[in-house]
Structure formats: C-alpha cells, structure tokens
Amino acid sequence: MAPSTTTSSTAASLTPVQALLKYLRRKRYQYEVTFSLYMLTPIEKIIFNIAVFLFFSMIIVATSLYFPTHFKVMASRVWFYIAGDDSLVKENGGMFMDEVKPEL
C-alpha cells in the first residue's frame, strides 16, 4: 500500500490567508501553553492578559521617554573618554545638568 500524502498536499493547498490564520492559532496555543493560561477561566485569562499588556505598555512608554536622554548622556560620556574634552556637553548647552536639577 502506498503512503498517504494528504498532509503535505493539504499544507501546500492552503491560501496565504489560511496559512496566516493557522500560524496565528499556533502562536496563540504556544502562548497559552507557555504561561499555563489553558487551565484558567476566561475571566482569569482576561485579567492576566490585561496585566501583561499594561506591563509591556509601561515598559514601552518608559523606554520611549527615558532612552533619548539616556542615550545623549552616554554619548557625551563616550565622547569625553575618547576625545578627552567636554565639547559635546558644551555644544548642547550644558545639557544633563539642566535636566538633572529641578527648577526652583
């Protein structure tokens, strides 16, 4: 008896939309199995997913607000170590000290 090739022909006959949906279903399944969400009730899943969403959104907001300043500070320190002068800090109007000190 010849081996069945239904699985390979079925996978090849998927449209791009069906393949994308299959991929997304597999990723959702992996997410639920990884974090043991499959054994929670729907309300518990919602609460957990909201907590994860809030955590990652706060990380993204904090990074987008803090990183540019941090990058400028690190760039001026690297320039100071390479060139030995503080011209980058002077060119930026003495940034960092103005940002660190609260205005009275």
Q: What is the pLDDT of residues 24-46, one digit of tens each?
A: 999 999 999 998 998 999 999 99
Asked whether residue 95 is assigned to any structural domain, the reply reads yes
**Between 81 and 6, whose confidence is greater?**
81
Asked if residue 61 and residue 17 are part of one domain, the reply reads no
Q: Phi-psi category of 85—alpha, beta or left, where left has phi over 0 and alpha has psi -120 to 50? A: beta
* pLDDT score, position 46: 95
Structure tokens at 6: 């239904």
> Is 30 in the same domain as 59?
no
Tell me, yes or no, whether 73 and 97 share the same domain: yes
The model's confidence at residue 104, banded by pLDDT at 50, 70 and 90, is very low
Q: Which domain holds residue 64?
A: 54-104
SS3 58: helix
22 lies in some domain = yes
Does 58 map to a domain? yes
**Residue 49 domain-assigned (yes or no):** no
**Inside any domain, residue 65:** yes
Per-residue pLDDT, 4:
55
Q: Is residue 47 part of a domain?
A: no
pLDDT tens readout for residues 45-91: 999 999 999 999 999 999 999 888 888 888 888 877 887 766 656 66
| pLDDT recorded at residue 71 | 87
The total domain count for the chain is 2
Please indicate whether residue 60 or residue 6 has the higher confidence score (pLDDT): 60
